[in-house]
Amino acid sequence: MAFKSNIPTHPVPAGGKTGVLIANLGTPDGTDYFSVRRYLGEFLSDRRVIEAPPAIWQPILQGVILTTRPSKSGEAYGRIWNREEDASPLRVYTRAQAEKLAARFEGEFPVAWGMRYGKPSIADAVEELMDQGCDRLVFLPLYPQYSATTTATANDQLFRYLMTLRRQPAVQTLPAFPDHPAYIAALEKSVRDHLASLSWKPQRLVASFHGLPKLCVEKGDYYPDDCERTLSALRTALGLSEEQMPITYQSRFGPMEWVQPYTAPFVSALPEQGITRIAVIMPGFISDCIETLDEIGNELREEFIEAGGEELTLVPCLNDSDDAVALLETLVREALPKK
Ligand SMILES: C=CC1=C(C)c2cc3[nH]c(cc4nc(cc5[nH]c(cc1n2)c(C)c5CCC(=O)O)C(CCC(=O)O)=C4C)c(C)c3C=C
Ligand SMILES: [Fe+2]
Ligand SMILES: [Fe+2]
């Protein structure tokens, strides 16, 4: 293999320069069939996400899944698309987080953003930082809870690109932050602010995390433990019990069993217990995306109303709020050597 001659366009200063790379999952470039197909094809070919042998999985993926799912998902993306920016919310928020974080660092640390799947890639972001003279990188996957299907594959992708470089930066990968005090404080404030803006009082604050196949957990992925850590810290901060703030898991994909309880049946069963006004918080997502805005904000709301529910409100994700950006700054600064 030939290694890339990646000579920075800016000289590397004496003593080195540190760049910050924030990474998220990735999202389609458009809502049309081919854009969504390209995205899902890359995402669902990742063996960290679907561990089945390619000889078995690829014919299923390239056959039935990539024939049917892109149209259905494209419609869902269409419902939540940011028309002003002509981009999906995940892209809009991730870019805004990077820009606002860069503004906070005032040139002390350049910031770039990259996506595990699609554009800009993690490789694009590494190049952007190295071109600015960075010879050290702090890599922050934007997943509060660890999973091999998210955090680990983001790290893999970073190192996969570094494998091609002649001139490699030093890299520090940051851990997940499920109960970091700054993260819990930001979530607590987002709940309090949102509840204060309502003219009614939810009877339950249902927490919904992205799901994961149960088999991944049996093989050692400790994602549900991290979700429990987040929720237990948040319940304590808000003074709520497990009954008042239950944990559930959404976004099941495929026929396998996933971590339970599943959000949709849990929420649909609430009206028959006399619970007809609820708020839903999704602390597994730093940014609003198709899974929060459409799966919960549209699909789940419809199911809840059909089951006899009256009100369902979403607590927005932290997105590009000052609290979110302050949290990212804290996580990065804590990782840097003290001067
Ligand atoms: C086996 C499939 C999947 C696993 C495992 C999985 C884990 C996982 N995903 C997130 C975060 C996000 N997922 C998003 C979208 C999404 N996820 C899957 C499948 C699996 N996820 C699919 C097929 C999709 C695409 C949407 C669809 O077609 O339904 C997103 C949003 C992306 C966006 O563009 O808005 C996020 C974020 C986590 C945290 C996680 C494991 C813990
Ligand atoms: Fe997902
Ligand atoms: Fe979904």
Interface predicted TM-score of the whole assembly (ipTM), two decimals = 0.98
Size (the chain), residues: 339
The response to whether residue 287 sits with its C-beta less than 6 Å from ligand 1 reads: no
Ligand 1 touching residue 50 (CB < 6 A): yes
pLDDT band at 13 (very low <50, low <70, confident <90, very high): confident
pLDDT grade, residue 49 (50/70/90)? very high
Q: Is the pLDDT of residue 213 over 70?
A: yes
Per-residue pLDDT band for 11 (boundaries 50, 70, 90) equals confident
Cα 313 to averaged position of ligand 1 atoms, centre (Å): 22
Best residue among 38, 72, 147, 251 to mutate for probing ligand 1's pocket (most ligand atoms within 8 Å of CB) is 251
Arithmetic mean of pLDDT over the chain: 97
Q: Find the mean pLDDT for residues 203-218.
A: 98
Assess whether pLDDT exceeds 90 at residue 220: yes
Is 210 marked within a binding site? yes
Continuous H helices in 17-150:
33-43, 54-60, 66-80, 89-105, 122-131
75 annotated as a binding-site residue? no
Residue 181 identity: P
pLDDT level of residue 10 (50, 70, 90 thresholds): confident
CA of 151 to the centre of ligand 1 (A): 13
- Pocket of ligand 1 contains residue 143 by CB under 6 Å: yes
**Residue 83: how many CB atoms within 10 A of its CB?**
7
Give the ligand whose atoms come closest to the C-alpha of residue 26: 1
CB 166 within 8 A of CB 48: no
Average the pLDDT over 133-141 and give the result: 97
Which domains does the chain possess?
18-176+322-335 (3.40.50.1400), 181-314 (3.40.50.1400)
Give the residue-averaged pLDDT of 192-208. 98
State the Cα–Cα distance between residues 65 and 222, nearest whole angstrom.
28
